[in-house]
Amino acid sequence: DADVTQTPRNRITKTGKRIMLECSQTKGHDRMYWYRQDPGLGLRLIYYSFDVKDINKGEISDGYSVSRQAQAKFSLSLESAIPNQTALYFCATSVRDLGPGRGAGYTFGSGTRLTVV
């Protein structure tokens, strides 16, 4: 099994529908992140969570919400989907930086391709 699992892999939904993207990890990492990827824009941070009780907005959080149900699970919701939320969504995890060189960067899931029609 993958270290970071995202479900679903692909989803087509209609404008105005509520949709949830799920992420679970077996890395034991305390930090989890949601990014979206758009052509020509790279990856942009939506939300991040440093532990179960700590959730923070990223640079493009409008229209999104998240839930950290457990250390291993971090869900992203679109309350009322709109077409410009069509994108590739990535979940990532990381371990707390314990000092220079001891961090390992992110571990990414395989992504969820969301299309809003």
Which residues lie near another protein (CB under 8 A)?
A: 4, 31, 33, 35, 40-45, 48, 50, 90, 92, 94, 96-97, 99-101, 103-106, 108-111
Separation between Cα atoms, residue 71 and residue 31, nearest integer Å:
8
Q: Which is nearer to another protein, 29 or 78 (CB)?
A: 29
Nearer to another protein, 70 or 102 (CB): 102
For residue 62, count CB atoms less than 10 angstroms from its CB and return exposed for 0-12, middle for 13-18, buried for 19 or more: exposed
Tokens of 38: 């758009």
Shortest distance, CB of residue 13 to another protein, whole angstroms? 20
Closest CB 78 distance from another protein, rounded Å: 20
φ/ψ region of 85 (left if φ > 0, alpha if ψ in -120 to 50, else beta) reads alpha
Q: Whose Cβ is closer to another protein: residue 87's or residue 111's? A: 111
Helix runs in the chain, H state only: none
Complex with another protein: residue 47 or 78, whichever CB lies closer: 47
